[in-house]
Amino acid sequence: MSVPAIETWALTKEYSNGRGCRDVSITVGKGEAFGFLGPNGAGKSTLVKMLVGMITPSSGRAALLGYKIGSLAAKSQIGYLPELYRYQEWMTGEEVVELHARLCRVERSVTAKRVPALLEEVGLGQRGRDRVKHYSKGMQQRLGLACALVNDPEIIFLDEPSSALDPIGRREVRNILEKLKERGKTIFLNSHLLEEVELLCDRMALLNNGVILRHGSVSEVLRKQTKWLFKVGGFTPFLCIWLNEQTGLHFRLSSRQEQTFQGRNSGDQLPSGQSQSQDGSVVWLEAELDSEEQAGWINALIVEQGMTLYEVTREQERLEEWFVNTVSGLDHRGERE
């Protein structure tokens, strides 16, 4: 059985202000792209700094490729791009990468070939001899990525690598990371950009207030219900009640209607304006469903009741909305409040 690229056991870092990480236990396989997702201040950078050996854990333990974090053996296997990276402005891009190569003890003969290749790979091939003070923030971020790769690491830690980039720059960085995945490199991506995690990563964890709320494959962690809309003819107000009782879901008139009906059981009262005069009208019903199969079942139930089903559509919740709703709706143990 191969040794995981990253493994932590109840890794904890405590600060006097209460921030940090608590009882983080994760396993990242070799060649995997793992996303660590959370809002600003969630503890993502604290975890990465422990893993790369910059700060010491308060308790728990961790290993990189089987080596204890902080050891020379572990550090020799990693590349690291911090969120806020600063350079000597008077140096050229080539000189910055060469400096990092020397710090990583890369042989000079290897450095001579690797530096121009890396600059080309990150889109700075024509700007390597320009001084860093003439680089934009996006260019400096890509220069930092070249520095993180200069020792040909097995594990690459990236802390918000796309934070200073425009959409084109983000795509370029993502393409670079996808190529690294193809070469079998392990990528640990810290980000609050949900799209970047979803597009690149195989598995991920959701962190908030220093605690992992969810972890697993991206599809599992990002599993979210979808709002489905049903355009129904021949509607009677009590159809919502009947559907709720039959399915255990919560059907209601869509916000497209002037009034909403949110009855949950046969004892509910109709809202003002929802009288028998609406019987037989065409309305939009909405509910949050888990799958197309569930929507198909609802379709059949509506038709069985003698209603006419004119249209069925779904409105996928935006990732940002899902993230905000998930974090605000979970307590520190990852349970619904």
Distance CA 164, CA 160 (A): 9
State yes or no: pLDDT of 202 exceeds 70: yes
Top pLDDT among 75 and 283 is at 75
Name the average pLDDT for the chain: 83
Distance CA 57, CA 125 (A): 39
- pLDDT in the model for residue 88: 85
Give the pLDDT confidence of 108-127 residue by residue, as tens digits. Answer: 999 999 999 999 998 899 99
Angle between helical axes of 137-148 and 108-121 (0-180°, round to 10): 140
Amino acid of residue 267: G
List the chain domain ranges: 6-217, 226-316
For residue 70, give the 3-state DSSP assignment.
Answer: coil
**Nearest of 120, 180, 175 to residue 156 by alpha carbon:** 180
- pLDDT in the model for residue 164: 67
- Strands 252-253 and 281-289 turn out to be antiparallel
What's the distance, Cα to Cα, between the start and end of the chain in Å?
40
The CATH H-level superfamily of 6-217 is P-loop containing nucleotide triphosphate hydrolases (3.40.50.300)
Distance CA 69, CA 63 (A): 5
Amino acid of residue 214: R
Give the pLDDT confidence of 158-197 residue by residue, as tens digits. Answer: 988 877 677 887 888 888 899 999 999 999 999 877 788 8
Give the pLDDT confidence of 6-61 residue by residue, as tens digits. Answer: 999 999 999 888 778 999 999 999 999 999 988 878 888 899 999 999 999 999 99
